Amino acid sequence: MALPLAVWSLAVVYGTKPLYHRMRRRGLPHNVAVYYNRKIIHSAAGGVVALLTPFVFREPVIPAISAFLLGAFLLHARRSGRLMYWFQVPENSYEVNFTIAWGLSLLILWPILGPKLAVLPALFIAFGDAVTGVVRNTLFKRRTKHWAGNVAMLAVAAPLGYAYGGLLGAVAGLIASVVERYEFPPIDDNLLIALASLAVLVAPALLRIP
């Protein structure tokens, strides 16, 4: 099942290229079109695969390795001078961080909490962080860390967390929505969201809290 999902992810990545040109023809600035595409890829590739992962995999190694390989592919595109201009930007490689956060959180959480909770950080960065970008991009036409995005993320992440992990999952969604506003390059919001929500989810198990 890894191969079809990998093909799907690449299809989403390359499928946003004509969308970029369509947005440009309609008068959207380059940076706005790029940022919309980044968030579409977050949701349609990272989010959809995360939703399916607990149902199609018995262990986390294969999906995590697939995420790391995708990250290596994206990094190679940068270093080879073949920047995928329709969603990659020269000033940061945060799309690579996304794949690292996605795969690493899955590897750590799966053996501790099982597959359902293990995908929550990936879902937060895929759907929660995506909605922040859409809201901010629509309001300000640039990448910014305005609180409106965090409110929008909370509206997605808290219910999503509750659906997957009850009250603990909702708290993880809340914390993820707060830390999204911060970044300390090269550590970006993708990594912070994954690490913070992972810490919330794993704390009760490590502390043996029922």
Per-residue pLDDT tens digits for 83-117: 999 999 998 999 999 999 999 999 999 999 999 99
* Domain assignment of residue 209, yes or no: no
Q: What domain range is 76 assigned to?
A: 2-204
Tokens describing residue 184: 């300390």
* Domain assignment of residue 210, yes or no: no
* Domain assignment of residue 60, yes or no: yes
* Domain assignment of residue 49, yes or no: yes
* Domain assignment of residue 133, yes or no: yes
**Would you state the pLDDT for residue 141?**
86
Number of domains in the chain: 1
Rounded Cα–Cα distance for residues 16 and 116 (Å): 29
- Residue 186 — pLDDT band, cuts 50, 70, 90? confident
* Domain assignment of residue 183, yes or no: yes
pLDDT greater than 90 at residue 183:
no
Q: How far apart are the first and last CA of the chain?
A: 35
Mean pLDDT, the chain, as a whole number?
Answer: 94
Q: What is the pTM of this model?
A: 0.93
**Alpha-carbon distance values, 23 to 16, 41, 138, 140 (Å):** 10, 15, 13, 16
Rounded Cα–Cα distance for residues 6 and 66 (Å): 7
- Residue 152 — pLDDT band, cuts 50, 70, 90? very high
